[in-house]
Structure 1
Amino acid sequence: MLPFDFQLRPRIVFGAGVIEQLGPLASQLGGKVVLVVSDPGVVKAGHFGTGLQSLEAAGLVVHSFHEFTENPTTDFIDAGVEVARRVKPDLIVGLGGGSSMDCAKGINFVYSCGGQIKDYWGVGKATADLLPMIAVPTTSGTGSEAQSFALISDAKTHVKMACGDRRAACAIALLDPALTLTQPYAVTALTGIDALSHALETHVTTRRNAISSTFSREAFRLISNNLSRVLDASDDLEARGCMQFGACLAGMAIETSMLGAAHATANPLTARYGVTHGQAVGLMLPHVVRFNGQHYPELYSELLAEIDPRESQHDAPEQIAQRVTEVVRKAGLKTTLRELGIAAEVLPELAADASQQWTGSFNPVPVNADNLLTLYQAAL
């Protein structure tokens, strides 16, 4: 058994309607002045208002920050920090999708420790304790509520910076599957595929261990068995709950095992061409599974056994790759780079960018610009 060092940090509160506990939970953490970070879509859906009502009913003073979009940038963090310095919160709530939670963490880094968010690019760069945080995900995708990392894009270079520190972990993750019922179909699909990629990648990385594999396998089972259900019936609350818990477990796996080449190849597609992350990673994932499966078929056999124990484990990587392609296609997403308008001549540039991605360093098969180019060519 591989060695590991793991500490379960967030308290997880799960159940339909538990957002009504947000105020009492914040009070338990000693909160008196709260900064709620929620994107405009969450405000429009009414979830911010529900959280606000619970916080105010508990006697807390609430301020908010909404001026950011998907893939929060350094500029958004700077704007959020200005709000925090003005209102002086003693607790931060990230209420929304991965962008809201990452933005909340990024604001917390700079507000609590000073400097700029790029100063915390890497691991363990915090210089002081951060404010306690509560994460309330409204999607089933990133698993950010269970991670001590914030992914922030440089506003000028568009490079994604992973800023991680144990002190940035949320104190409480409040999982209310009812909040995901308002997701548009496209958001359900994109975030669900992202969560599926997390379960798959975390199970095979060089940092995998007994703890991460436990989370990865259960996350893969939950997500694989329920993603099609929520695509077919958006009001299936039981399936929504399984997806949200599965995404959270996959996030817990990321915390200890990291990710791999699917994310390394997806990120340049987002940075250079604005391809949505779920689309990019869903397109590249089957090719990475086949690539890794040539050397580690037994790891994919373990995952396949979670969803179909009676299925022959022969050629498990190919079976999983085909299943991923099927769900990507069912979600109405593209399955080739050509469909996204990406030409063959730009692939070497994408491969060069992908070779510099941090996540690629954890792939079970070492990657470089040459074999990453092969992956892009397979996806063309």
Structure 2
Amino acid sequence: MQPFDIQNRTRFIFGEGTISRLGELAAQYRPACVMVVSDRGIMEAGHDGAAISSLKAAGLRVESFHDFAENPTSSMVEAGVRRAAEVKPDLLVGLGGGSSMDCCKGINFVYSCGGTIHDYQGVGKATCDLLPMIAIPTTSGTGSESQSFALISDAETHVKMPCGDARAAFRIAILDPALTMTQPPRVTALTGIDALSHAIETYVTKRRNPMSVTYSRRAFGMLAASFSRVLAEPGDIEARGQMQLGACFAGMAIETSMLGAAHATANPLTARHSITHGQAVGMMLPSVIRMNGATHANWYGELMREVDPSVSDGEAPGRLASLVTRWLREAGLATSLEELSIAESSIEVMAEDALKQWTGTFNPLPLDAQRSLDLYRSVARKPAG
């Protein structure tokens, strides 16, 4: 049995309307200034105003940083650090999707410890305690609220840099499913596929352990039961809550088990072709399941029995891969490079890039050059029919 060492560092508060508690929760840290890190879309949805109102009602001074976008880069983090230097916060709030929460962590690394975000690539690189942070996810995708990692892209090379440290964990995560109901349908689809990929990949990594598989399996069960529901009935608050908790649990699994080849092969699609992460990882996942299933069918069998107790180990990888493909189609997402207008001539360079991704090292089968090529070739063309 794989040994593990894990300490839950984040307090989780779940429930409809819990964003109203932000002020009281922040006040316990006695901050002179709170900086809210949220993107422009969050402002348009009104969540930014709700958070700021709660903070101000608690008598707190509030400043904001909004100048970043999806897949935050090192230059966006630098802009946030400059903003922090102006307003001098002693508490940060990451409000939004994974980009907001990752950018918040990235700013905290550099503002608190100095240098540039590049200095914190890897694990345990913080040189001092970071400012306390509160996470408020408005999507059900990355599970960043439950992780001590920030994923920041280099502004020039576009390579994603995982920056992890126990001190970068959020002190509190407010999980209010009502906040996720303002997502556009495409965002619901992309973030939901991302969450599902986390639950599936964390279940079969080299670092899987009794704690991680518990989180992965429960996450998969909740996400699988609710994903189609939120696509068909966006106002279903119960399904939204299941998606949000499922994404959070999958994030807890990532913290101790990491990810695998689907993420390793997805990252070059994002870096070189600007394919949204949920689309990229969802497209690659079925082929990765089939590849890993050749030797680990029993693991996928355990996972699939969360949704169908009658599934045998032998049929589980194929059934699961087909289920993911069905979800992609329900969500209106592509299942091939052809549908994304990506030429097959780009496969070799992406396959080389995939081998440089940290996540690939945790895949249960080594992601070598041939397997990387085979994975991309398997999704090159749109399936017939």
Q: TM-score range by the shorter chain?
A: over 0.9
1:306 offset after TM fit, Å?
1.0
State the distance in 2 between where 1:29 and 1:204 align: 39
The one-letter amino acid of 1:77's match is V
Cα displacement string for residues 59-114 of structure 1 (whole angstroms, at most 9, x for unaligned residues)? 11000000111011111111100111111111000000000000000000000000
1:310 offset after TM fit, Å?
2.9
State the distance in 1 between where 2:253 and 2:274 align: 27
Contact 1:24 1:58 (C-alpha < 8 Å) held by counterparts: yes
State the distance in 1 between where 2:81 and 2:311 align: 52
1:30 offset after TM fit, Å?
3.0
SS in 2 for 1:294: helix
SS in 1 for 2:235: coil
Contact 1:305 1:313 (C-alpha < 8 Å) held by counterparts: no
- Residue number in structure 1 paired with 2:383: none
1:315 offset after TM fit, Å?
1.3
The one-letter amino acid of 2:102's match is D
Cα displacement string for residues 216-257 of structure 1 (whole angstroms, at most 9, x for unaligned residues)? 000000001100000000000000000000000000000000
- 1:197 equivalenced with 2:197 (yes/no): yes
The one-letter amino acid of 1:126's match is A
State the distance in 2 between where 1:156 and 1:60 align: 38
The one-letter amino acid of 2:181's match is L
Contact 1:264 1:358 (C-alpha < 8 Å) held by counterparts: yes
Q: Which runs of 5+ in 1 are unaligned?
A: none
- 1:275 equivalenced with 2:303 (yes/no): no
- Residue number in structure 1 paired with 2:17: 17
Alignment of 1:201-212 (within 5 A): 201-212=201-212
State the distance in 1 between where 2:152 and 2:314 align: 40
State the distance in 2 between where 1:360 and 1:171 align: 29
- Residue number in structure 2 paired with 1:177: 177
Question: What number of residue pairs does the alignment pair up?
Answer: 380
- Residue number in structure 2 paired with 1:230: 230
Contact 2:262 2:285 (C-alpha < 8 Å) held by counterparts: yes
Contact 2:145 2:170 (C-alpha < 8 Å) held by counterparts: yes
SS in 1 for 2:68: coil
1:190 offset after TM fit, Å?
0.1
State the distance in 1 between where 2:48 and 2:165 align: 27
- Residue number in structure 2 paired with 1:167: 167
- 1:300 equivalenced with 2:292 (yes/no): no
The one-letter amino acid of 1:148's match is S
Alignment of 1:1-380 (within 5 A): 1-380=1-380
State the distance in 1 between where 2:29 and 2:335 align: 45
- Extract structure 1 runs of 4+ deviating beyond 2 A: 29-32, 310-314
State the distance in 2 between where 1:307 and 1:313 align: 14
State the distance in 1 between where 2:198 and 2:183 align: 20
Contact 2:94 2:136 (C-alpha < 8 Å) held by counterparts: yes
Say which is worse superposed, 64-73 or 304-313, in terms of deviation: 304-313
SS in 2 for 1:126: coil
Q: Give the superposed CA RMSD.
A: 0.7
The one-letter amino acid of 1:87's match is V
SS in 2 for 1:35: strand
The one-letter amino acid of 2:306's match is E
State the distance in 2 between where 1:338 and 1:24 align: 51
Cα displacement string for residues 258-290 of structure 1 (whole angstroms, at most 9, x for unaligned residues)? 000000000000000001100000000000000
State the distance in 1 between where 2:32 and 2:16 align: 26
1:312 offset after TM fit, Å?
3.8
Scaled by the length of structure 2, the TM-score of the pair is 0.98
SS in 2 for 1:295: helix
1:2 offset after TM fit, Å?
1.4
Query: Percent identical across equivalent pairs?
Result: 64
State the distance in 2 between where 1:257 and 1:49 align: 36
Scaled by the length of structure 1, the TM-score of the pair is 0.99
State the distance in 1 between where 2:52 and 2:185 align: 26
1:29 offset after TM fit, Å?
2.8
1:344 offset after TM fit, Å?
1.7
Q: Which runs of 5+ in 2 are unaligned?
A: 381-385
Contact 1:18 1:174 (C-alpha < 8 Å) held by counterparts: yes
State the distance in 2 between where 1:185 and 1:314 align: 35
The one-letter amino acid of 1:16's match is E
The one-letter amino acid of 1:333's match is L
Contact 1:113 1:130 (C-alpha < 8 Å) held by counterparts: yes
